[in-house]
């Protein structure tokens, strides 16, 4: 069964304390892996798409990487405004359907 | 920038009422989606549409129907609202890969 698992469920960091969020997946034939940021009461905001193992993408303090079984979202020197829930999703072959993880709630303390 | 808009941010309805949630996208995307998001359950796909007048059931279609008469507009209909349909409803659209989400509608059924 296709599945996405994110860890940890919640993470508290001090401002400037770098860390990584994990997204493990099982899907037969990955078409794409997607990272989103979601603020409370709002819709998810698209961050990155990764297509193949070894690929990396960066945006400001965020860097996403992909292996054959998992993806990491690295946050370097986070700021309080990086506090949000980060969602991971995968898309398998022959379908437009995403499988979402339940997210990591990140809190960055000043 | 991709823009996906939803007709209401907050909605309160009574049990048994017929409820319409509307979504409009401005990127000429072929695919549109309706999700609901509940704490601890993540995003769950209700219905999606890959073309005008075309629709497919997602993972939790019971109690819902959809309509797509124009490419840019995708409506979610709750035929007879029930309290277990209280949730955050998110619309998304996509072209080739990544999905872009609207701001969400927080629906409360009393």
Residue of B nearest to A4 (CA): B42
Question: What does the pLDDT look like over A54-75, one tens digit per residue?
Answer: 999 999 999 999 999 999 999 9
Separation of alpha carbons A51 and A31, rounded Å:
6
Residue A69 is classified by DSSP as S
Beta strands at A10-14 and A104-109: parallel, antiparallel or unpaired: parallel
Q: Which residues contact A69 (CB under 8 A, 6 or more apart)?
A: A24, A25, A26
Residue of B nearest to A30 (CA): B97
Whether residues A49 and B98 touch (CB distance < 8 A) is answered with yes
Owner of token pair 């946050």: A75
Extract the tokens encoding A30.
Answer: 């990955």
Which tops the pLDDT comparison, B2 or A50?
A: A50
Residue A2 is classified by DSSP as -
Per-residue pLDDT of chain B (110 residues; tens, 9 = 90+): 769 999 999 999 999 999 999 999 999 999 999 999 998 888 999 999 999 989 999 999 999 999 999 999 999 999 999 999 999 999 999 987 889 999 999 999 99
Angular region, B29: left φ>0, alpha ψ -120 to 50, beta rest:
beta
**Under CATH, domain B15-97 is a member of which superfamily?**
Immunoglobulins (2.60.40.10)
**Spatial contact of A91 and A98, defined as CB atoms under 8 Å apart:** yes
Separation of alpha carbons B22 and B68, rounded Å:
10
Domain spans, chain B: 15-97
Owner of token pair 């979504």: B23
Domain with A103 in it: what CATH number? 2.60.40.10
Separation of alpha carbons B99 and B31, rounded Å:
9
Instruction: Quote the pLDDT of residue A28.
Output: 83
* Number of domains composing chain A: 1
Question: What does the pLDDT look like over A11-32, one tens digit per residue?
Answer: 999 999 999 999 999 988 888 9
Q: Which of A73, A81, A77 is nearest to A57 (CA)?
A: A73
Q: Which domain holds residue A74?
A: 3-109
Q: How far is A13 from chain B (nearest CA, A)?
A: 22
Separation of alpha carbons B40 and A5, rounded Å:
13
Instruction: Write the residue in A46, A91, A96 that is nearest to B48 by C-beta.
Output: A96
CA atoms within 13 A on the CB side of B37: 27
């Amino acid at each position: 069964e296709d599945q996405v698992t994110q860890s940890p469920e919640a993470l508290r960091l001090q401002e400037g304390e770098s860390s990584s969020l994990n997204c493990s997946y099982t899907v037969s034939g990955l078409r794409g892996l997607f990272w989103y940021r979601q603020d409370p009461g709002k819709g998810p905001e698209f961050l990155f798409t990764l297509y193949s193992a070894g690929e990396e993408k960066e945006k400001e303090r965020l860097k996403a990487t992909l292996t054959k079984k998992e993806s990491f979202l690295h946050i370097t020197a986070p700021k309080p405004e990086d506090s949000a829930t980060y969602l991971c999703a995968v898309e398998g072959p022959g379908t437009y359907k995403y499988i979402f993880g339940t997210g990591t709630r990140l809190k960055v303390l000043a | 920038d991709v823009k996906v808009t939803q007709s209401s941010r907050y909605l309160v309805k009574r049990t048994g009422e017929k409820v319409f949630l509307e979504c409009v996208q401005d990127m000429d995307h072929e695919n549109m989606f309706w999700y609901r998001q509940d704490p601890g359950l993540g995003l769950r796909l209700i219905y999606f549409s890959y073309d005008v007048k075309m629709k497919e059931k997602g993972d939790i279609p019971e109690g819902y129907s959809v309509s797509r008469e124009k490419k840019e507009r995708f409506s979610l209909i709750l035929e007879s609202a029930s309290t277990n349909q209280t949730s955050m409803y998110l619309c998304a659209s996509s072209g080739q890969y990544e999905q872009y989400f609207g701001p969400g509608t927080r629906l409360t059924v009393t």
